[in-house]
């Protein structure tokens, strides 16, 4: 009898522990009306052993419901923890896409600059080569024309000098006028050095400019050679030409 009472008390305790466990579960998870227990009957009047299978079945059902609820709560918590992670992952992917897009844009911009720079360099090279070739052609042509002009002037001057020589030999009074047309600044430069030069002095200097020797001048002017030497000395003195300086070279430098 004592054993039966002990087992009955144990089952009764387990029943109330089960009810306490159910109370900790959300009301929406389980309806307490389904628990088929009559507590109005006195413990001693009820054969608890007859209810033991139902009690254990109820305990098993309650434990399963509790475990299910715990699993649902754990799943919700796991989902709640995964949402920020997913958001962080999405944000990281978005940032990587943005950085990749920016990097692609920078690469495109660099490629455009490189292509444009190469094109501009090629154009400048072609234009520089073109203008340089034209410049060289023009420069060469100008030099050629200058040479031709110089040659022509020398020929003209040579012919004019031949005419002057003929005028000197003929002792023609138009010699000085013709000489000034060929050497227009010669007389002016002589007068700057000495404004008191006579017309005969200028004619004599013109003959020296034409590189006539003392003997030739004496022959053309019908005077003695000694007189020509003395006249050279006087010209040196009037124009302040040094005695060691070549007289013909001095007049040759005067144009």
Q: What pLDDT is recorded for position 104?
A: 72
Q: Degrees (nearest 5) of the Cα angle 49, 54, 57?
A: 125
Q: What pLDDT is recorded for position 70?
A: 57
Mean pLDDT of residues grouped by 10 in the chain (255 residues)? 47 50 46 45 46 55 57 57 54 70 74 83 86 83 76 65 82 88 92 94 93 90 91 94 92 88
Q: What pLDDT is recorded for position 193?
A: 94
Identify the burial level of 61 via C-beta atoms within 10 angstroms of its C-beta, where 0-12 means exposed, 13-18 middle and 19 or more buried.
middle
Q: What pLDDT is recorded for position 28?
A: 44
Q: What pLDDT is recorded for position 69?
A: 55
Q: Is the pTM of this model over 0.85?
A: no
Q: Is the dihedral of CA 161, 165, 168, 172 positive or negative?
A: negative
Q: What pLDDT is recorded for position 172?
A: 87
Two structure tokens written together for 151:
């040659």
Q: What pLDDT is recorded for position 27?
A: 46
Q: What pLDDT is recorded for position 32?
A: 43
Two structure tokens written together for 229:
């030497």
Q: Is the dihedral of CA 172, 176, 177, 183 positive or negative?
A: positive
Q: What pLDDT is recorded for position 245?
A: 92
Q: What pLDDT is recorded for position 63?
A: 59
**What does residue 45 show for φ and ψ, rounded to 5 degrees?**
-95, -5
């Amino acid at each position: 009898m004592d054993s039966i009472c002990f087992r009955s008390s144990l089952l009764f305790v387990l029943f109330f522990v089960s009810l306490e466990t159910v109370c900790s579960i959300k009301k929406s998870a389980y309806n307490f009306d389904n628990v088929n227990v009559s507590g109005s009957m006195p413990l001693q009047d009820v054969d608890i052993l007859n209810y033991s299978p139902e009690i254990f079945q109820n305990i098993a059902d309650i434990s399963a419901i509790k475990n299910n609820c715990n699993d649902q709560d754990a799943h919700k918590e796991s989902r709640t923890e995964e949402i920020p992670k997913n958001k962080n992952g999405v944000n990281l992917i978005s940032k990587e896409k943005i950085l990749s897009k920016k990097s692609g844009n920078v690469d495109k911009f660099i490629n455009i600059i490189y292509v444009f720079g190469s094109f501009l360099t090629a154009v400048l090279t072609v234009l520089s080569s073109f203008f340089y070739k034209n410049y060289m052609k023009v420069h060469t042509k100008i030099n050629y024309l200058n040479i031709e002009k110089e040659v022509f002037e020398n020929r003209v001057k040579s012919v004019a000098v031949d005419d002057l020589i003929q005028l000197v030999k003929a002792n023609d009074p138009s010699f000085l006028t013709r000489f000034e047309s060929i050497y227009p600044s010669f007389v002016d430069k002589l007068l700057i050095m000495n404004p008191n030069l006579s017309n005969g002095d200028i004619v004599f200097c013109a003959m020296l400019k034409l590189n006539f020797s003392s003997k030739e001048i004496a022959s053309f002017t019908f005077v003695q050679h000694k007189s020509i030497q003395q006249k050279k000395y006087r010209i040196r003195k009037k124009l302040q030409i040094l005695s060691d300086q070549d007289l013909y070279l001095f007049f040759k430098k005067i144009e």
